[in-house]
Amino acid sequence: MSFFKSIQDSIPTVDQLRDSFTKVEKQIGESIQPFAAKTQSLITEQVKQVQQLAAQASQSDIDVSELPKDYLQLEINCDQLLKLYTDLIQTTNQTYGQVSYDYPPGNTTYNKIKDAHVGEAIGAKFNQLKNVSSPQELERILLGQSDSSAEEAKTDSIKIQPTSEAIPRTLFGHLSAILAKQSEELQKQSDSNPLSLVLMQISSTYHEIAVARLVQDDKITKELNHKLVDILNTQFIKVNELRKKVYLTRSQFDQLRNKYEEKDPENEQLIAKEDELVGATELAVAEMKSILKPSRNIDLLKVLVSAQKEYFDAGSKRLASLLNSLGTVISEEDEE
């Protein structure tokens, strides 16, 4: 049984698991910066203003100057990229920005016990199900409905204990806590119980996977979402202002052109405004090309894929190692 003893010595206690979870969850919470609603509102308003300026020009009686096709295509591409960025930010924030996104489903029945201590709540619920005497009672227990007469008759009613907030609500964190609790219960009966040690070993592996998932989340929120938000706050807002400038200047140029083109084609105001339009268009083109640079956008997407790969690789390696260890345990037990 020396193998079991070495496992037991190397595996952290439940308190240590909780402390580890607490530290990582705190770091995640401090690093997450949700997509700024103010930024989204500002950009949306800018795009509407650009569209309104373009529509106003087409609805006027004045002949509208055509913008270069390449410029118009850049605008379309920028709007598509903006949609991608905002969708990514919202989706990843709603997922990786929420610690409990892979926590067991919050259906009505589960919600009634999810804030209870895992070991005690599940054990009590199991005992209730073992002792049901009618279909109605079974339905009442499964649906979490109260039955005053039944509760008065029973002296072993469920006692719900608050779950420690130190354990983050993740799937593997949840499984780790369940197994660690059951391991401790078995150890109270026998220090050398093989199942107890195996449960704690699995719990430890699940704990490591849970932490690896939090690390993935932290990387995505810090290295991807923060960069996307920064790009929206700086470059996209700048691009939209430049686009507004293009349409506003074009409108002013068309008005001057309508006034002077036939009578005074060399009018200084007309020539100056045409130069201003060319300059505004060139500035907008340069900034839009910068945002649309493929290499930068691919690098941003690689951050997401890389973080996910590291998490899945870590989980795969730990589970493979766990399976090998469990195989060794079975072999030693067979020899005995």
Whether the pLDDT of residue 2 is over 90: the answer is: no
Q: What is the pLDDT of residue 224?
A: 92
**pLDDT: which is higher, 128 or 79:** 79
User: What is the residue-averaged pLDDT of the chain?
Assistant: 76
Q: What is the pLDDT of residue 32?
A: 39
Q: Which residues pair with 162 in a beta bridge?
A: 116
Q: What is the pLDDT of residue 128?
A: 58
Q: Which residues pair with 116 in a beta bridge?
A: 162
- Cβ proximity of 194 and 328 under 8 Å: no
CATH topology assigned to domain 2-104+167-335: Substrate Binding Domain Of Dnak; Chain:A; Domain 2 (1.20.1270)
| Whole-angstrom distance, CA of residue 156 vs CA of residue 160 | 12
User: Domain residue spans in the chain?
Assistant: 2-104+167-335, 116-162
pLDDT, one tens digit per residue, over 225-262 is 889 988 988 899 899 999 999 999 999 999 999 888 88
Q: What is the pLDDT of residue 164?
A: 41
Give the mean pLDDT of 91-96: 89
Q: What is the pLDDT of residue 213?
A: 93
Which helix (H) or strand (E) covers residue 213, if one does? helix 194-219
Whether the pLDDT of residue 202 is over 70: the answer is: yes
Q: What is the pLDDT of residue 334?
A: 55
Residue 234: closest CA among 39, 37, 35, 38? 39
CA 149-151-155 angle, to 5 degrees, is: 130
**What region does 144 belong to: left with phi over 0, alpha with psi -120 to 50, or beta?**
left
Whether the pLDDT of residue 158 is over 50: the answer is: no
Q: Residue 206 CB: number of other CB atoms within 10 A?
A: 26
Whether the pLDDT of residue 313 is over 80: the answer is: yes
Q: What is the pLDDT of residue 52?
A: 77
**pLDDT: which is higher, 276 or 329:** 276
pLDDT, one tens digit per residue, over 19-42 is 554 554 554 444 434 445 666 677
pLDDT band, very low/low/confident/very high, at 305 (cuts 50, 70, 90): very high
pLDDT, one tens digit per residue, over 99-116 is 888 888 753 344 444 444
Q: What is the 3-state secondary structure (H, E, C) of 230-269?
A: HHHHHHHHHHHHHHHHHHHHHHHHHHHHHHHCCCCCCCHH
pLDDT above 90 covers a percentage of the chain that reads 39
Whether the pLDDT of residue 89 is over 70: the answer is: yes
The DSSP annotation for 267-332 comes to: -HHHHHHHHHHHHHHHHHHHHHHHHT-HHHHHHHHHHHHHHHHHHHHHHHHHHHHHHHHHHHHHHH
Instruction: Provide the greatest CA pair distance for the chain.
Output: 108
Give the mean pLDDT of 264-280: 92
Which segment of 47-51, 180-184, 201-205 scores lowest on mean pLDDT? Answer: 47-51
- Cβ proximity of 256 and 273 under 8 Å: yes
Q: What is the pLDDT of residue 85?
A: 92
